[in-house]
Structure 1
Amino acid sequence: MRQGFNSWGRVVRRHRDIASLAGLTGSGAGALLPFGNGRSYGDSCHNDAGRLMPMRPGAAIRAFDPETGLLTADAGVLLSEILALVMPHGYFLEVTPGTAQVTLGGAIANDVHGKNHHRRGTFGRSVVSFVLCTSDGSNIACTPAQNAGLFQATIGGMGLTGVIEAATIRLMRVPSANVRQTAFRFASIDGYFDAIDAIDAGHEYSVSWIDQLARGSSLGRGVLMAGDHAEDGGPARPPAPPRLSVPFSPPVNLLNRVTLKAFNALYFGRAPETSKSSIVPWGSYFHPLDAVRDWNRLYGPRGLFQHQSVYPAETARETTIRLIECAQRHGAASFLTVLKRFGDVPSPGLMSFPRPGFTLTLDFANSGPATLAMLDALDEIVLLAGGAINPYKDQRMSAAMFEASFPNWRTLEAQRDPALMSDFWRRTAMRLVRPEHERMPARAAAAG
């Protein structure tokens, strides 16, 4: 059966053959890839030479214990569905990414992060166990102690070690899902870096919006939003369908320099000049864009590229400036420009993207070769800083940049299920592999 499956970037949009979980056993090399909800921006969720295995149909929450905060669910369950169940019991996800419209399996496979990485690390730290289905017909129970090597490779392994059937995660108790937010604007990038140490020391969450178009003495100006679950936050509304939607893709990019300059000036001008505390709904703090269905269509028919990098704290101020200036020299406008700190809480995942330092996220409408040239230039800045590029936000980084970002990628390749492949892995890792006789067995040391 052929069905449409797109990544969130929509640079490449194709119909793909689909397969069921039962079809994994006996599949040929590189034949399949599990597909969650398509919120990866690039080609890590594509498999154009093979088939995709949809994980959403029939997915359900299997168990939830309000006493222990442990929840077991099928891999295709959305994080929003988990939140709807557990929030009335006083629980929240320990780590939530910028959208709740990702599946549990996708959150594990990409080892997603949130606004509290400096406190709690990545999503993988919440994972207690999972069952992994492999093409040899095995159903392998994985925990930090049981089949530990496969457990580590699967967290952040982009769906290549096997198909996660179900997982058990740990939730955290909160006084309210709603957030007491402390927000203020800063006049330049120096204002952010001068304030962030104290902000992160005093708050569970922090994130900053950056006006990527500001120049001169205002370069890097933005709004810093720290947050904590509010003791006096009151009852929180459960996740609801989006209030707004973009019903079709406009013929041109609506998020261009003209519209963004006006938006940025308005957003910055409305932010408080000095620190202001208020209680905000949990959805608007953690997942503001979930309120608009298909907002990615605003970038026009050619889609968008997202560039997310991480680089060491020691030179983060200078690196951030170089990245912003590089995008400006290329005449590019980023709608969603986000800066935040990654802490030193280690991930259990082998291929986790976050590492100590700072991470900058930039979104660009796809303008063809000019955009690709700019993204390569951004990569060079990150490479020189000793940083890395996020693979599940990527659709074009070179194999060399991937290897520099993840020098231990061969360990994942050694544990990759031979039946599983993605366009991303084919485009990067498979261009780097040594001749077949020099490679490790495909499932070597899987039990760890």
Structure 2
Amino acid sequence: MSLYKKEKLSGWGNYPVSESYKVQVRDAGDVTRTLQQGSLVPRGLGRSYADQAVNDNHYVGDCTKLNRLLAWDETTGILECEAGVSLEDIITSFVPRGWLPMICPGTKFVTIGGAIANDIHGKAHHIDGSFVNCVLSFRILLADGRILTASRTENADLFWANFGGLGLLGVILTAQVQLRKIETTYFKQKSVVIKGLDHMLEALDQYDHEYNYSVAWIDAMARGNKIGSGVLTLGNAAKLAELPPKLSTNPLQLHKTSKLTVPFFLPSFTLNNFTVKVLNRVIAFVQNSPKEFIHYEKFFFPLDAINHWNRGYGKRGFIQYQFVIPEDNGRQHLAEILDMIAQSGCTPFLNVFKRMGDGQGLLSFPFKGYTLAIDFPVTDGLFAFTPKLDAKVLDAGGRLYLGKDGLLNEGMFKAMYPQYTEWLAVKRKYDPEGKFDSNIGRRIGLTKS
């Protein structure tokens, strides 16, 4: 390992920090040579929140140089590209031609390889599903040096196991993805002020068939009959004929490069219940927008407007705790979970609530139900609280999103994802020596090195 330089690496939450050997991956040879030295995990733009793409005292393969667009079919909207291509790259290249990625998460700074490894989802999961639904096939480099094509009909077990597989089966080199044809880059939106949890669930039911996209901000500090209050934002892709004259002159407008940035880690004393209450009022005001039409940048990627916004949580970092629970008894379980959070003493920021549709795959996170994502700054009390929250989520029939998780233990993971045994069978088949490894792989028992 002496030929490689050790670096301190972390996910977007800046917790935990790992010392790993970072290797620039430009071709398959870079990977095979590194695997002769030790285990490796592929890494994209580092937007997984915790230890998904770090590998203590072993290798991390930076795949961002695998970023070429290889083939494009204007008729079908099928793009072939290398796995280090980001959603921003695709948007910048294809929005002027009238195409957008089919599945957009909360940031455009995600590589195609990372989108597959975490099977990302967006505001329309109940309609469009997760990222697997727009991937036709991919080529993956295995630990023994073979490069296989995986699809629904060719090496299907390898195909399905990679979605949510956290990069632990190989390095994806290229992928074929389906883009969505658009007339404009705007969305017609509606905001609904939500008075409480019953109102929230009723509103989701009411607008379920009217709007394809829906997401809610919840005031996680609310108590009593205000628990679950917030703002529900709904939207549909705007047709060209719907746009007002001011917007129709440039209906396929691209996003601008953000000039706002958080230049340094903010001190931890700025994160307290008072600042959260102030922030909640600001978010409620912004989310309850009177604008009928909104650009995709603000609709899909509002936080991308601030570079390095993760520094706002201070040097200790934060975790994003995202769970999904079934709709059955969902109201009761959500109320109990929100009450636990409000009384925990762990300050919750940026609480995003959505409805999910049917799931698929072995370790893919989504299933039909309700999902809530909460940012928790890292504090001493957090480590005592999350196991209690994990137990409550499991009791409700739910599970955590592995692409964001930073604290789940092996026993709890296996209880939440009973399909892990099927995934391990695929791992043994394609990587019997466990060459692909990571901190989260070891933490939750997917790898043992």
Task: Name the TM-score, length of structure 1 as normaliser.
Answer: 0.91
Structure 1, residues 416-447: CA drift from partner, whole Å, max 9, x if none? 3221001111011158x7xx9xxxxxxxxxxx
Give the corresponding residue for 1:150: 158
Q: Which amino acid aligns with 1:314?
A: D
d(CA) in 2 for partners of 1:247 and 1:267? 22
Q: Which amino acid aligns with 2:144?
A: D
SS at match of 2:270: coil
State which of 6, 13, 20 in structure 1 corresponds to 2:17.
Answer: 13
Alignment of 1:56-67 (within 5 A): 56-67=64-75
d(CA) in 2 for partners of 1:428 and 1:8? 20
Alignment of 1:379-418 (within 5 A): 379-416=390-427, 417=431, 418=434
Distance 1:30 1:44, change over 3 A: farther
How big is the shift at 1:403?
A: 0.5
Distance 1:117 1:30, change over 3 A: farther
State which of 382, 391, 413 in structure 2 corresponds to 1:371.
Answer: 382
How big is the shift at 1:92?
A: 1.3
Give the corresponding residue for 1:226: 234
Distance 1:277 1:195, change over 3 A: farther
Mapped contact 1:98–1:114 kept (Cα < 8 A):
yes
SS at match of 1:25: helix
How big is the shift at 1:279?
A: 0.1
Distance 1:412 1:29, change over 3 A: farther
Alignment of 1:78-89 (within 5 A): 78-89=86-97
Structure 1, residues 301-337: CA drift from partner, whole Å, max 9, x if none? 1000111000010111111111111111112222110
Within the alignment, does 1:429 sit opposite 2:445 as a pair?
Answer: yes
Q: Which amino acid aligns with 2:336?
A: R
Runs (5+) with no aligned partner, structure 1: 437-448
How big is the shift at 1:122?
A: 0.4
Structure 1, residues 75-109: CA drift from partner, whole Å, max 9, x if none? 11111111111111211111111111011100011
Mapped contact 1:188–1:219 kept (Cα < 8 A):
yes
d(CA) in 2 for partners of 1:180 and 1:133? 42
Mapped contact 1:255–1:335 kept (Cα < 8 A):
no
State which of 214, 218, 223 in structure 2 corresponds to 1:206.
Answer: 214
How big is the shift at 1:204?
A: 1.1
How big is the shift at 1:363?
A: 0.6
How big is the shift at 1:6?
A: 2.1
Distance 1:29 1:207, change over 3 A: farther
Alignment of 1:66-145 (within 5 A): 66-145=74-153
Q: Which amino acid aligns with 1:427?
A: R
Moved over 3 A (4+): 269-272
State which of 231, 246, 252 in structure 1 corresponds to 2:262.
Answer: 246
Within the alignment, does 1:179 sit opposite 2:191 as a pair?
Answer: no
Q: Which amino acid aligns with 1:240?
A: K
SS at match of 2:192: strand
Structure 1, residues 14-35: CA drift from partner, whole Å, max 9, x if none? 4421234424326259610101
Q: Which amino acid aligns with 1:190?
A: D
How big is the shift at 1:288?
A: 0.3
Within the alignment, does 1:256 sit opposite 2:267 as a pair?
Answer: no
State which of 292, 296, 304 in structure 2 corresponds to 1:282.
Answer: 296
Mapped contact 1:212–1:333 kept (Cα < 8 A):
no
Distance 1:62 1:306, change over 3 A: same
Distance 1:65 1:270, change over 3 A: closer
Within the alignment, does 1:197 sit opposite 2:205 as a pair?
Answer: yes
Give the corresponding residue for 2:29: 22
Distance 1:56 1:253, change over 3 A: farther
Count of residues in Structure 1 that have an aligned counterpart in Structure 2: 428
Within the alignment, does 1:335 sit opposite 2:346 as a pair?
Answer: no
SS at match of 1:202: coil
Mapped contact 2:233–2:287 kept (Cα < 8 A):
no
Distance 1:271 1:337, change over 3 A: closer
Q: Which amino acid aligns with 1:294?
A: H
Distance 1:407 1:28, change over 3 A: farther
SS at match of 2:208: helix
SS at match of 2:316: coil
Aligned CA-pair RMSD: 1.9
Mapped contact 1:206–1:224 kept (Cα < 8 A):
yes
How big is the shift at 1:253?
A: 5.0
How big is the shift at 1:350?
A: 2.2
State which of 293, 299, 303 in structure 1 corresponds to 2:307.
Answer: 293
Within the alignment, does 1:46 sit opposite 2:46 as a pair?
Answer: no
Runs (5+) with no aligned partner, structure 2: none
Q: Which amino acid aligns with 2:444?
A: T
Within the alignment, does 1:324 sit opposite 2:343 as a pair?
Answer: no
d(CA) in 2 for partners of 1:57 and 1:81? 12
Task: Name the TM-score, length of structure 2 as normaliser.
Answer: 0.91
d(CA) in 1 for partners of 2:163 and 2:231? 32
